[in-house]
Amino acid sequence: MQDDATTDPAGALRLEGITKDFGPNRVLKGVTMDLRAGRVTALLGANGAGKSTLIKILSGIYERQDGRILVSGQAVDISTPMTAAQHGIQTVHQRIDDSIIPDLTVAENLVFEEMVRGSGPRVRTLKSLLPRAREIAQTLDLEWSDNFLLKDAFEIGIADGQLLLLARALNHRPKVLILDEPTSTLSATETDRLFTLVRRLRDEGVAIMYVTHRLSEVRTLADDLVVLRDGRLQQEQSAPFDMPAAVEAMLGKTIQVEVSELTEHRGERVALELRGIQLLPRSAPIDLDLRYGEVTGVIGLIGAGKTELAQAVFGAERLRAGSMRLDGAEFAPRSTRDAVRRGIYLAPEDRAAQAMLLGWTVATTGSLPFLAKISRGSVVNRRAERRMAADIINDYGVVATGPDQEMDALSGGNQQKVVVARWLRQSPRIMLLDEPFRGVDLGARRDLAHKAREQAEAGACVVVLVSDVEELREVADRVVVLAEGQTYLDAYASEIDNSTIIASMSEVA
């Protein structure tokens, strides 16, 4: 980044060669970067890039393995959140539960750190905290009533909780402010207020790290951007930004597949019509048709709305707005069970948290969604269950000792094969695969892509939701690009190249 003559380096933060290991896995690999006073630096990166680890090191939650942290040119040791605050570093985390103290009121949470340091008001009653709590809330022009300030902090909404933490952070007049996805739960009005505040702090000389997946916010707010990928700093830019280059840096520069070696199929019959659906809290409605006989690849960065789309179709979440029609008839699944009964299946993004149970075997995991088919009353036919698992192992090349091996003992790729296979082998009408290739090796990825295409060739409507261009190219007949809940491209794979896809992913206003 070029030096800005109007920017005072005092209060800036510098990272030099920061590394962090978790067991044998090196998550940060020598990160060196600067946060300059009076500038907003956007930190971008896909899942697993190392953003959260870097934030937690700066916040004093994790200790770095190696490297130096300098504030105002002086090397500092940040070992706890308290020492981070002492050096002028304040962080507003995306997960508010990590920072709000349970069983305390909003007022107590606002003045908590002052009370711990002994600099806050003397506490005789809860009401004696209110004047100081109101002062801190006013940092953000929050006109919270006394009744609101006396509420248990866990009873307020997520957006208000985020504003509470931001007001508390700003009360310390930080040199460095780290905002981790700060607008993820805010309304448009609250977001505008936040942007005004960020600009004010920047003008006052605060160095701001702004972590976001919304490229429109980067364009609107940031002076600089940095891209992390696989624990390394990949790119730095100063405004005006080359967003396609930033997106390519996030995804990886070595996209090997331009047009994959597949025979493109174009479905003629519409399976699911989506009209006026709203995927994200502040996104405009979109229309989308999904067809039988083709694989629709939906691609977008974190927060694009891919998972929200899949969960709405599967009945896991209600649509914010809009309607769906399945084979021409109104479709509004009341539950995931309702969707499964209609032949609509979802292999979710997070297999460990959403598709597996601790201690369960290949057999019990493979049969879980379809126990009614192999049960009489409440008694499961274990022989049929094990036959089902044996078929999964054989048909999908799962490396396992047998149906009774626990899922936890399998590799990530073999776990994913079981989780996806249990749905695909049941002749889906609509098959939704949310990040099915995450954490699997190239061989497993190609096996799963081949099986997904087999289902489409047999007549199913298959939707694969990914964030990687190369994965998309290996499976999709049709490409739909989502960004911040909006559709920016809808074309067949043979009609477009990788640069078109990447440019569309970065087209947000």
Hey, which bits of 199-253 come out as E strands? 207-211, 224-229, 232-238
- Cα 323 to Cα 312: distance, rounded to the nearest angstrom: 10
Residue 186's contacts (CB-CB under 8 Å, 6 or more residues apart) are: 159, 162, 194
Q: Residue 497, Cβ neighbours under 10 Å: how many?
A: 13
DSSP state letter for 67: E
Q: What pLDDT, on the 0 to 100 scale, is given for residue 212?
A: 87
- Cα 330 to Cα 311: distance, rounded to the nearest angstrom: 17
Mean pLDDT per 10-residue segment, the chain (509 residues): 42 88 88 94 86 92 92 91 89 78 87 72 72 86 87 82 85 88 76 86 93 87 94 93 88 54 87 95 92 96 90 92 96 92 91 82 88 81 90 89 89 86 91 87 81 94 91 93 93 91 80
Q: How far is CA 111 from the centre of its chain?
A: 31
Query: Per-domain residue ranges for the chain?
Result: 1-88+174-253, 102-173, 360-426
- Quick check: 419 and 365 in contact, CB under 8 A? yes
Residues paired with 156 in a beta bridge: none
One-letter identity of residue 380: V
Residues paired with 297 in a beta bridge: 464, 479
What is the CATH architecture of 1-88+174-253? Answer: 3-Layer(aba) Sandwich (3.40)
Name the token pair of 163. 């504003």
Q: What pLDDT, on the 0 to 100 scale, is given for residue 5?
A: 36
- Cα 361 to Cα 282: distance, rounded to the nearest angstrom: 42
DSSP state letter for 289: E
Q: How far is CA 410 from CA 258, 390, 397, in A?
A: 32, 15, 13
Q: SS3 for 349?
A: coil
Vertex 159: Cα angle to 99 and 13 (nearest 5):
50
Residue 74's contacts (CB-CB under 8 Å, 6 or more residues apart) are: none
**Share in percent of the chain as helix, strand, coil (round to 5):** 40, 25, 40
Tokens 């048709």 correspond to what residue? 289
Kind of pairing between the strands at 74-76 and 66-71: antiparallel
- Cα 479 to Cα 297: distance, rounded to the nearest angstrom: 5
Residue whose C-alpha is closest to residue 163's, from 141, 146, 188, 178: 141
Angle between helix axes 158-170 and 130-137 (nearest 10 degrees) is 90
- Cα 227 to Cα 55: distance, rounded to the nearest angstrom: 14
- Cα 464 to Cα 449: distance, rounded to the nearest angstrom: 9
Q: SS3 for 446?
A: helix
Vertex 60: Cα angle to 57 and 65 (nearest 5):
45
Vertex 196: Cα angle to 191 and 202 (nearest 5):
125
Q: What pLDDT, on the 0 to 100 scale, is given for residue 225?
A: 96
> Model-level pTM?
0.70
